[in-house]
């Protein structure tokens, strides 16, 4: 095993005459790996790494590579490299230079294996793993500039650079071949790039740029593992929140979750197994092509294609939404993006389970129906085939869930209107939320809801299989045994939502089984909840001691519910009660509490589970300086302090909103995406999405400051 640190450039120059390897203490010189065999990188490397012409294994063992001016790792010269992942490695390209995190030159190949984690970020116009691109059109024969990429195991979090894909190609270049056989992959595009596939293709509007459809995502094959792909990451959206998913005014979501970037084809997408969750909005398909253009003359009809095959035992969830601010023109969940030239060929067979949700007016499966680019004709799919063994749940806010106008439609009649296939085609449906789809059809009102708390991170509330229609649930605590009694201590104004939908607050107790693991999420309650008479609804009053008043004062906090009251954190925690005697503990890596006999108290009142965010104006705001600013400034948080979300409307309109506060401190669950709003003289000015995280520089602090930049 060769343990490589950094090889000085001077050593490289004389290597032919002297077989000498010179090591740098801090990894500050270029590291070149040019010999076949096994190698290890286990240091912090401030200079780039070249892997040239070898066949071998490179172990990334808690490596940190953050190079300037180019890709952090460059695999080139027909190299065939297996990256073995150990621990957690962080690889970053340069955001100010054309680069990737891990660049794979055409002719080379990389394979990822191991049990470790790789966090990799692309640079300017580059994929996290793959190629970077260019701002000019290049000849067709030169557009494939990325080698082959395979994932067999490991945990890979791939964040694209501007206009790149998470995994695949960069700006104005084609994808090649991506194969995922196992592991857990999270891949996010950036600025019009796809999560997995290719980056920004073209709008067709710039002089000298190829026509829409001429750039392509290449071949994408998923055989197993867990794959989560989104078309944007810089907005830190929660994909289970429809409002957040629509936050696409920066055009971040114009690429597909899996497939083409903006203006790019998706010639071969094949999903044969594993769990796949893909999301997009603002015109990009969740699985398929990116958003196109309404200008038909800018298309290359012969090049623009979309071919998607889903089969085997694949478990696929595809969710797409419309534009922000009521522009209801989105791409298909599975199919083509908005402004498409073709509907493509879609085949779903075998024993696949497919959930396709489209919160726009386009079908869930097929061709989009808005902004047609060709002579005003409405695009239709060339072919849609759905096999009899498929479990299908398709729903759209448009006229029908599957593109029934397809030129060739191979679907068993049992799917249409059949209650056991979860397929709507007879009337429009109204979608209130991605994770809870309320369907208004000719059959009456039905609600499809399945909120598994066992998933992780952003994806906790994404539907993972065809759910069963049930009336809107009203969660109530349900004891499961009398062997252990769990007492809950949560932060004030917060609650815990357990896997069965039951909600508990600070001081609550619940009977649970010993030796059984329970899953829960942290929630911030809605402070503004009112009943039909305008009276404030609360879970129960809390007594808070105010030293300056030397008194305990009742503090009434609101409630949390899945229908829009409060914010649910996306991090899933676990708690187990053991009959043995021991010291209660918390495993931060696995988010797991272990409680022992004698103290069955679940204490979440610290930054294991939440952060207190303090909202201020001005760097020097001291709580009494509002008079020094022009106008009265204030702040609020959607679904907590200002408004209660689109899923909930108070009967008494005067109580729908509460006044924002000049300064605000509020406990918020880790992993949640919060919409903060700014007001001046009670007039809404702007909003900002904030991903709630711990303070990495000060991990022991339980609060973070957020400053509105008052101007």
> How far lies 309's CA from each of 222, 273, 596, 698, in Å?
10, 11, 50, 47
Distance (Å, whole) CA 256 – CA 604 = 38
Q: What is the DSSP letter of 265?
A: B
Counting every residue written for the chain, the total comes to 711
Q: What is the b/e burial string over 295-328, where b = at least 16 CB atoms within 10 angstroms of the residue's CB?
A: ebebbeeebbbbbbbbbbebbbbbbbbbbbeebe
d(CA 256, CA 280): 6
List, in sequence order, every residue forming a beta bridge with 31; answer none if it has no partner: 49
The structure's pTM equals: 0.61
Beta bridge partners of 667: 612
Cα three-residue angle 376-379-382, rounded to 5 degrees: 150
Decide: 205 and 176 in contact? Cβ < 8 Å. Answer: no
At residue 637, the pLDDT reads 86
SS3 category, 402: strand
- Label the pairing between strands 44-45 and 73-76: unpaired
Q: Which helix (H) or strand (E) holds 233?
A: none
**Cα–Cα distance between 229 and 278 in angstroms, integer?**
5
For residues 344 and 384, what is the distance between their CA atoms, to the nearest angstrom? 8
The bridge status of strand 573-578 relative to strand 517-524 is antiparallel
58 vs 104: CA distance, rounded Å: 14
Name the nearest CA neighbour of 210 among 220, 221, 198. 198
**E strand or H helix at 408:** strand 408-411
Report the alpha-carbon distance of residue 35 to residue 466 in Å, rounded. 51
Distance between start and end Cα atoms, the chain: 59
Provide the CA 81 distance to its chain's centre, in angstroms.
29
Asked if 539 contacts 525 with a C-beta cutoff of 8 angstroms, the reply is yes
**What does the H/E/C string look like for 286-329?**
CEECCCCCCCHHHECCCCCCEEEEECCCCEEEEEEECCCCCCCC
Question: Which tokens go with 572?
Answer: 């899933």
Burial class (CB in 10 A: 0-12, 13-18, 19+), 365: buried
The DSSP secondary-structure symbol of 241 reads: -
Q: Does domain 610-708 have CATH number 2.60.120?
A: no
Consecutive sets of 10 residues in the chain, 711 residues long: mean pLDDT of each? 37 29 49 94 86 96 91 96 96 93 96 96 94 78 86 94 94 93 92 92 60 88 93 51 50 82 93 91 89 74 89 90 63 88 87 83 82 67 86 74 82 51 38 43 41 25 31 43 75 87 87 90 82 61 62 69 80 88 84 86 85 72 46 77 54 51 84 80 76 78 76 46
Query: What pLDDT is attached to residue 411?
Result: 78
Domain boundaries, the chain: 1-124, 160-471, 484-603, 610-708
Question: Quick one: pLDDT at residue 3?
Answer: 42
Tokens of 480: 């499961």
- Residue 557 makes CB contacts below 8 A (sequence gap 6+) with 492, 493, 525, 527, 538, 539, 542
CB 53 within 8 A of CB 32: no
690 vs 137, 244, 639, 668, 704, CA distance in Å? 36, 11, 14, 11, 12
Q: Return the HEC string of 603-641.
A: ECCCCCCEEEEEEEECCCCCCCCHHHCCCCEEEEEECCC
């Amino acid at each position: 095993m060769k343990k490589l640190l950094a090889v000085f450039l001077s050593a490289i120059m004389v290597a032919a005459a002297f077989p000498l390897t010179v090591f740098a203490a801090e990894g500050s010189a270029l590291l070149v790996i040019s010999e076949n065999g096994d190698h290890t990188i286990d240091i912090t490397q401030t200079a780039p790494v070249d892997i040239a012409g070898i066949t071998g294994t490179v172990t990334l063992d808690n490596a940190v590579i953050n190079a300037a001016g180019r890709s952090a790792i460059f695999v080139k010269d027909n190299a065939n490299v297996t990256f073995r992942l150990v621990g957690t490695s962080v690889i970053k390209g340069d955001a100010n230079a054309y680069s990737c995190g891990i660049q794979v030159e055409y002719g080379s190949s990389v394979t990822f294996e191991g049990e470790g984690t790789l966090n990799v970020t692309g640079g300017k116009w580059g994929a996290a793993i793959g190629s970077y691109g260019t701002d000019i059109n290049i000849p067709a024969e030169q557009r494939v500039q990325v080698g082959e990429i395979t994932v067999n195991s490991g945990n890979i979090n791939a964040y694209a650079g501007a206009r790149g894909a998470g995994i695949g190609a960069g700006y104005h270049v084609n994808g090649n071949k991506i194969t995922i056989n196992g592991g857990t992959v999270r891949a996010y595009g950036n600025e019009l790039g796809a999560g997995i596939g290719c980056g920004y293709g073209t709008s067709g509007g710039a002089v000298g740029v190829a026509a829409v459809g001429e750039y392509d995502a290449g071949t994408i094959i998923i055989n197993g593992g867990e794959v989560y792909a989104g078309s944007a990451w810089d907005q830190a959206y929660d994909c289970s929140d429809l409002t957040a998913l629509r936050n696409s005014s920066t055009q971040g979501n114009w690429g597909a979750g899996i497939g083409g970037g903006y203006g790019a084809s998706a010639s071969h997408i094949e999903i044969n197994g594993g769990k796949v969750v893909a999301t997009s909005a603002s015109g990009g398909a969740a699985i398929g092509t990116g958003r196109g253009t309404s200008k038909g003359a800018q298309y290359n009809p012969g090049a623009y294609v979309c071919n998607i095959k889903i089969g085997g035992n694949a478990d696929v969830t595809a969710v797409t939404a419309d534009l922000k601010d009521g522009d209801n023109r989105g791409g298909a969940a599975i199919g083509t993006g908005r402004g498409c030239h073709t509907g493509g060929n879609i085949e779903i067979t075998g024993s696949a389970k497919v959930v396709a949700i489209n919160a726009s007016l386009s079908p869930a499966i097929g061709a989009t129906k808005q902004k047609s680019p060709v002579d005003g004709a409405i695009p239709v799919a060339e072919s849609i085939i759905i096999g009899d063994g498929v479990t299908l749940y398709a729903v759209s806010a448009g006229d029908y869930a599957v593109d029934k106008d397809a030129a060739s439609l191979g679907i068993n009649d049992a799917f249409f209107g059949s209650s056991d296939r979860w397929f709507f085609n007879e009337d429009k449906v109204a979608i209130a939320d991605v994770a809870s789809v309320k369907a208004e059809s000719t059959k009456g009102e039905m609600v499809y809801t399945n909120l598994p708390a066992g998933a992780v991170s952003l994806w906790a509330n994404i539907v993972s299989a065809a759910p069963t229609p049930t009336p809107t649930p009203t969660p109530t605590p349900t004891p499961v045994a009398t062997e252990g009694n769990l007492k809950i201590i949560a932060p004030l104004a917060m609650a815990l939502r357990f896997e069965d939908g039951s909600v508990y607050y600070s001081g609550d107790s619940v009977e649970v089984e010993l030796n059984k693991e329970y899953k829960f999420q942290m929630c911030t309650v809605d402070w503004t909840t009112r009943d039909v008479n305008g009276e404030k609804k609360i879970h129960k009053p809390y007594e808070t001691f105010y030293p300056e008043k030397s008194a305990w004062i009742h503090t009434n906090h609101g409630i949390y519910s899945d229908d829009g009251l409060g914010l649910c954190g996306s991090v899933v925690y676990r708690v187990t009660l053991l009959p043995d005697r021991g010291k209660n503990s918390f495993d931060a890596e696995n988010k797991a509490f272990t409680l022992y006999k004698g103290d069955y108290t679940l204490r979440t009142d610290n930054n294991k589970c939440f952060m207190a965010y303090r909202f201020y104006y001005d760097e020097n705001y001291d709580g009494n300086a509002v008079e020094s600013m022009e106008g009265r400034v204030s702040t609020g948080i959607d679904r907590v302090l200002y408004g209660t979300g689109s899923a909930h409307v108070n009967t008494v309109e005067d109580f729908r909103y509460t006044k924002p506060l000049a300064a605000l401190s509020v406990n918020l669950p880790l992993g949640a995406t919060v919409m903060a709003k700014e007001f001046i003289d009670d007039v809404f000015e702007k909003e900002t999405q904030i991903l709630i995280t711990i303070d990495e520089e000060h991990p022991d602090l339980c609060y973070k400051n957020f400053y509105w930049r008052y101007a």
